[in-house]
């Protein structure tokens, strides 16, 4: 971390040791990926929402363009140059990709168009043998991966998870839905076998799913621990430590990472220690963070505000392990996730109660339709249902050119004044 300092700007101050060391985990994982490729083994570029245990079971090392774009948002080539994300986004925009498109898409496309896949932070993403994406959550990842596959002339596989809608009650996936998804998982495995020669081995997959399941349980436990007052682990820690769970699920190293994290959080709670000395109010961060400016997560600390909860990368409970039919298990897991406002908004309100949230900072991501579209409804629900004020931070995920610091500061200051006024007047801040 030390030697990186001069090129990493506006990092966040993390409150946990494990979170401060998460960077090493990422560097190590990239290095393993590059070594894997050099040894002649296959590499996949994957959308972050594909079930990663499959890759580890099939001997693939995955790189994730979304995560890579976020990495580019914090790194510069030289201290004087623009952020790598801006450099790549410009390349894409020159090639006709609209600046209204998702920053992740523009950055990784620019990286591909740049031609030199090593000319990037951490040596870039190793040249892929295949691309895999999913229709989960947003449309962009379909077109984006199609486009990269065409430009790299590399085979692509798309998993389709139909966006299920829940009307009032949570519905268990119907047989035709899991059957549909399961058939695609089978086809994905044959697709991988065809390219790499590696045969599908259910025992190997079960082993990875065991690690994945245990890791997920740990992450759920940590999430539960984070409800403690004062907040032992903030959003800066949360975002810094999501990498192993999001991208390395199914490996022992991810499990060990969260075990250490869980222990540290437990210890902090036991010692009665929070993120800061005197916690006055707790905040929600809705959406993906402003990767280019993670310092924002410490912004309210001088006035006693801490970011306590972020729903973005949180784990969902998994269905029980089904070693006899691991593909069925994965299909069931995936088809249980819902992403309509009918369910996400009430769930978010419930979480705000549980985490004693006093205010919401909503990333108003103008280029990420999936996160952006519900923003105004969430803002209204927080105010109407819980009496919680919120503020919108308008920007892209990784493209700092969209971020107006002065404007954001005024908004956040006024928002803090509003919350503190409530605090002074003796109204309960922690619902």
Partner 1 sequence: MLYAGIDVGAQSVKAALFDGQKMVGSVCTVTEEAADEAARAVYADLLQGVGIQRQDVEKVWATGWGAADVSFADGKSSEQLCAARGARWLLPAARTVVDIGAEGCRVMKLTPEGTLEDFANNSKCASGTGSFIELGAVYLKVPIEEMGPLSLAAEGAAEVSSTCAVFAESVIISKIHEGETRARIAAGIHRAAATRIVELIGRMGFIEDIILIGGAAMNPGLAKALEEMTGVPLRVPENPRVVVALGAAIQASLKRSRRGKSAS
Partner 2 sequence: MHEIFARFAENRHEAVKKWKQETGKKVFGYFCCLTPEEILYAADILPVRITGTGEPLQKADLHVPPNSCAFARSCLDAGMRGMYDYLDGVVVPNSCDIIFNMEFFWRTLVPRPTKPAMIAGVDIKPYVHYINYPEKITGREVVPYYVEVLKSFKQDLERSLNRPITDDDLARAVSAYNQDKSQMKRMYEMRKSDPAGLSGYEAWQITYSSLLMPKDKHAGILKGYLDELESNGHKAPEGVRIYLSGSAMDQVNADIYKIIEESGGQVVSDDLCVGTRSFWYPLNEELPPLEAIARRSLGTACPRSTVTDRIPENRWAHLLNTAKDFNIEGAIFYVLKCCDARLGEFPHLRDKLKTELDIPVLFLEGDYTSEGVEQMRSRVEAFIEMIEG
Partner 3 sequence: MLVAGVDIGSATSKSLILDGNGIVAAHIIETGPESQESAEAAMAGALEKSRLRLEDLKYIVATGYGRINVAFAGDVITEISCHAKGVHFFFPKARTILDMGGQDCKAIRVDAEGNHVGFAMNDKCAAGTGRFLEIMASLLRVPLEEIGPLSLQATEDIKISNVCTVFARSEAARHLRRGVPKANILGGLHAATAERVFSLLKRVEIEPEFVISGGIAKNIGVVRRVEEKVGLRAHISEEPQIIGALGAALFARERAA
| Secondary-structure breakdown of the chain: helix, strand, coil percentages, each rounded to the nearest 5 | 55, 10, 35
Stretch that binds partner 3, among 133-141, 276-284, 311-319, 406-414 (CB under 8 A): 406-414
Contact letters for partner 2, residues 126-145 (x by CB under 8 A): ---------x--xxx-xxx-
List contacts with partner 1 (CB under 8 A): 90, 93-96, 400-401, 404, 406
Residue 170, classified by CB atoms within 10 Å of its CB into exposed (0-12), middle (13-18) or buried (19+), is exposed
Contact letters for partner 3, residues 367-396 (x by CB under 8 A): ---------x------x-----x----x--
Q: Which of 4, 407, 427, 428 binds partner 3 (CB under 8 A)?
A: 407
Our CB check for partner 3 shows the closer of 22 and 349 to be: 349
What is the tally of helices (H) and strands (E) in the chain? 17, 8
158 binds partner 2 (CB under 8 A): yes
193 binds partner 3 (CB under 8 A): no
- The CA-atom distances, in angstroms, between 208 and each of 201, 249, 321, 397 are 11, 8, 11, 31
Our CB check for partner 3 shows the closer of 111 and 364 to be: 364
Closest among 400, 417, 227, 200 to 308, alpha carbons compared: 227
Our CB check for partner 3 shows the closer of 407 and 428 to be: 407
Return the structure tokens found at 190.
């044959």
Closest among 185, 162, 145 to 45, alpha carbons compared: 145
163 binds, among partner 1, partner 3, partner 2, none (CB under 5 to 8 A by kind): partner 2
192 binds partner 2 (CB under 8 A): no
Q: How far apart are CA 190 and CA 199, in angstroms?
A: 8
How many residues sit close enough to partner 3 to count as binding (CB under 8 A)? 15
155 binds, among partner 1, partner 3, partner 2, none (CB under 5 to 8 A by kind): partner 2
Closest among 261, 240, 257 to 248, alpha carbons compared: 257
Our CB check for partner 3 shows the closer of 150 and 410 to be: 410
Q: How far apart are CA 219 and CA 221, in angstroms?
A: 5
Residues from 232 through 251 that contact partner 2 (CB under 8 A): none
DSSP E strand boundaries for 183-315: 281-286, 305-309
Minimum CB separation of residue 408 from partner 1 in Å reads: 12
State the distance between the two ends of the chain, measured CA to CA, in whole angstroms. 38
With contact defined as beta carbons under 8 Å apart, do 96 and 236 qualify? no
Our CB check for partner 1 shows the closer of 53 and 400 to be: 400
Residues from 89 through 128 that contact partner 3 (CB under 8 A): none
Radius of gyration (Cα) for the chain, nearest Å?
21
Q: How far apart are CA 318 and CA 332, in angstroms?
A: 9
Q: Name the site residues for partner 3 (rule: CB under 8 A).
A: 376, 383, 389, 394, 402, 404, 406-407, 410-411, 413-414, 417-418, 421
Q: Name the site residues for partner 2 (rule: CB under 8 A).
A: 95-98, 100-102, 105, 135, 138-140, 142-144, 146-147, 149-151, 153, 155-160, 162-165, 167-169, 174, 176-177, 179-180, 183-184, 187, 191, 340-342, 364, 366-367, 369-370, 372-377
């Amino acid at each position: 971390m030390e030697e990186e300092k001069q090129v990493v700007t506006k990092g966040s101050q993390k409150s946990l040791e494990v979170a401060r060391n998460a960077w090493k985990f990422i560097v190590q994982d990239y290095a393993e990926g590059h070594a894997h490729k050099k040894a002649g083994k296959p590499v996949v570029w994957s959308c972050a929402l594909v079930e990663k245990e499959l890759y580890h079971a099939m001997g693939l090392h995955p790189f994730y363009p979304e995560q890579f774009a976020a990495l580019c948002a914090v790194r510069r080539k030289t201290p004087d140059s623009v952020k790598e994300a801006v450099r790549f986004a410009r390349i894409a925009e020159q090639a006709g990709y609209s600046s209204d498109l998702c920053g992740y898409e523009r950055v990784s496309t620019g990286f591909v168009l740049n031609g030199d896949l090593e000319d990037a932070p951490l040596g870039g993403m190793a040249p892929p043998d295949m691309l895999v994406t999913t229709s989960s959550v947003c449309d962009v990842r379909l077109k984006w991966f199609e486009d990269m596959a065409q430009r790299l002339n590399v085979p692509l596989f798309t998993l389709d998870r139909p966006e299920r809608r829940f009307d009032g009650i949570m519905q268990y996936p119907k047989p035709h839905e899991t059957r549909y998804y399961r058939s695609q998982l089978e086809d994905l495995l044959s697709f991988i076998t065809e390219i790499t020669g590696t045969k599908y081995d259910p025992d190997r997959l079960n082993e990875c799913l065991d690690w994945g399941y245990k890791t997920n349980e740990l992450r759920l436990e940590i999430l539960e621990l984070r409800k403690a007052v004062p907040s032992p682990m903030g959003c800066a820690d949360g975002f810094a430590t999501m990498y192993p769970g999001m991208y390395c699920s199914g490996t022992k190293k991810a499990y060990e990472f969260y075990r250490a994290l869980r222990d540290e959080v437990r210890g902090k709670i036991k010692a009665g220690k929070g993120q800061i000395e005197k916690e006055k109010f707790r905040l929600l961060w809705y959406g993906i963070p402003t990767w280019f400016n993670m310092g924002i997560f410490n912004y309210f600390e001088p006035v006693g505000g801490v970011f306590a909860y972020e729903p973005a990368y949180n784990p969902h409970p998994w269905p029980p392990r089904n070693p006899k039919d691991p593909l069925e298990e994965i299909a069931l897991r995936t088809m249980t996730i819902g992403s309509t406002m009918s369910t996400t908004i009430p769930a978010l309100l419930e979480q705000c109660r549980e985490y004693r949230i006093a205010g919401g900072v909503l990333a108003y991501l103008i280029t990420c339709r999936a996160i952006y579209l519900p923003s105004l409804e969430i803002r209204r629900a927080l105010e109407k249902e819980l009496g919680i004020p919120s503020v919108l931070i308008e920007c892209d995920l990784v493209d700092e050119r969209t971020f107006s610091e002065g404007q954001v500061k005024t908004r956040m200051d006024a928002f803090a004044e509003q919350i503190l006024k409530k605090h002074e007047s003796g109204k309960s801040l922690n619902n």
